[in-house]
Amino acid sequence: MRFAYKYRLYPTKAQAEFLQNQLGEACDLYNAALQERRDAWKTCRKSIHYCDQANQLKAMRAEGLIGLANFSCCQNVLRRLDQTFQAFFARCQRGDKPGFPRFRSFRRYDSITFPSYGDGCRLLDSGKLRIQGAGHIKVKLHRPVEGEIKTVTIKRDVNHWYVCFSVERAPVPLPPSAEQIGVDVGLESFAALSDGTEIGNPRHLQCGLARLRRAQRKLSRRKRGSKRRGTAAVLVAKANRKIRNQRAAFHHEVSRWLLDRYGLIAVEDLNIKGLSRGMLARPVADAGWNSFFAKLSYKAECAGRELVKVNPHGTSQTCVCGASVPKTLADRRHECPACGLSGSRDVVSAQVILQRARIGRSRVNVEAVGSCVPREAVAFQATE
């Protein structure tokens, strides 16, 4: 499996300037390659591909037209552009909004990749990272790099620098667990579990909104193109970075806690993109459900846990007994007239999610074994 390890870099002032220059050179190469593709299609209706442009790199570097220190980094920039066009063609075939590839600003081109470890970038035994042209840069190795390093990416995040190692290593499964849990994500509480536990919603964006608003007001009052506007833009980026890091740390903590305890985790297969377009767009984006599910998914695969996604239709309008219990968003309690079940709306929804996951597993087991198992036994097993 592929894993990524991210570490903080501490370059000197001269090294930081060199890395900034390398990002600018990579951005110029990306935009020039994009311009070449556009001009070739406009003038003679000819499509240029990655190999056509990569064959020109050697001559361009000999003439000094490309300032990137490493040849493999130049090839990676062209591969990025080629992947962008492949995604554009795929959207056209699916009938989605095409979104033709656009030119990149040097302020938004934030990373360069060394596709072969050891070719221009290597981690030394002294705990420093050697980068071609920059020398030895101090790196904070807060945990060891496990596995075989495949690629190395140098990334800029406002005024911080990071290195990301993509490694190939075997997964490390956790000890088996027979515990099962259903998870219902929400806005009042971040997640409600089927055992009655509720995880509070920290609302990182709401807590950091005052600082973010002040920074954005300061930015809006600065003259475009001025040095003071650039300084104000850094303040906005720092405020957003703090919110993003807090949210990511919270997602890592909750996903790890769930996987350490439970062998099966059932969640809803939500249309988060559709939910983020409604009147609850800000709190949905603040909760970051998509990022949380992504972390939960890859960690479950690595730990040998089972993550089951069920149909979200009617989970909050149905009782565990199967009866329909309609509720509005203002109704936070579940009162079933059929079986008399009373409890928190979110907790009962989590129990319904877990029940659907069990039924789905039972059906899969029956299809694998054959028709020799009676349906009554399957129904009994699903409702246990």
Average pLDDT over residues 311-330: 90
For residue 377, pLDDT beyond 80: no
Percent of the residues in the chain that have a pLDDT greater than 90, as a whole number: 83
What pLDDT shows up at residue 232?
Answer: 96
- pTM of the predicted protein model: 0.87
- Measured between alpha carbons, how far is 76 from 26 in angstroms, rounded to an integer? 9
Distance of CA 147 to the CA centre of its chain: 22
For residue 90, pLDDT beyond 90: yes
- Measured between alpha carbons, how far is 342 from 128 in angstroms, rounded to an integer? 59
Taken in order of first residue, the domains within the chain and their CATH numbers are 2-168 (no CATH), 180-200+246-382 (3.30.420)
What pLDDT shows up at residue 361?
Answer: 78
- Give 262's pLDDT tier (boundaries 50, 70, 90): very high
| Residues 178, 165 contacting (CB under 8 angstroms) | no
Per-residue pLDDT tens digits for 267-279: 999 999 888 888 8
- Give 365's pLDDT tier (boundaries 50, 70, 90): low
What pLDDT shows up at residue 280?
Answer: 87
For residue 285, pLDDT beyond 70: yes
- Give 364's pLDDT tier (boundaries 50, 70, 90): low
Per-residue pLDDT tens digits for 125-173: 888 999 999 999 999 999 999 999 999 999 999 999 999 999 999 988 9
Beta strand segments in 65-169, E: 111-114, 121-123, 128-131, 135-140, 148-157, 160-168
> Cα angle at 258 between 310 and 163, to 5 degrees?
105
Per-residue pLDDT tens digits for 186-240: 999 999 999 999 999 999 999 999 999 999 999 999 999 999 999 999 999 999 9
Per-residue pLDDT tens digits for 4-22: 999 999 999 999 999 999 9
Q: What is the DSSP string of 180-241?
A: EEEEEE-SSEEEEETTS-EEE---HHHHTHHHHHHHHHHHHTSPTT-HHHHHHHHHHHHHHH
Percent of the residues in the chain that have a pLDDT greater than 70, as a whole number: 94
For residue 266, pLDDT beyond 90: yes
What pLDDT shows up at residue 367?
Answer: 54
- Measured between alpha carbons, how far is 25 from 47 in angstroms, rounded to an integer? 24
For residue 115, give both structure tokens.
């596709």
For residue 80, pLDDT beyond 80: yes
- Maximum CA extent, the chain: 81
Per-residue pLDDT tens digits for 21-58: 999 999 999 999 999 999 999 998 899 999 999 999 99
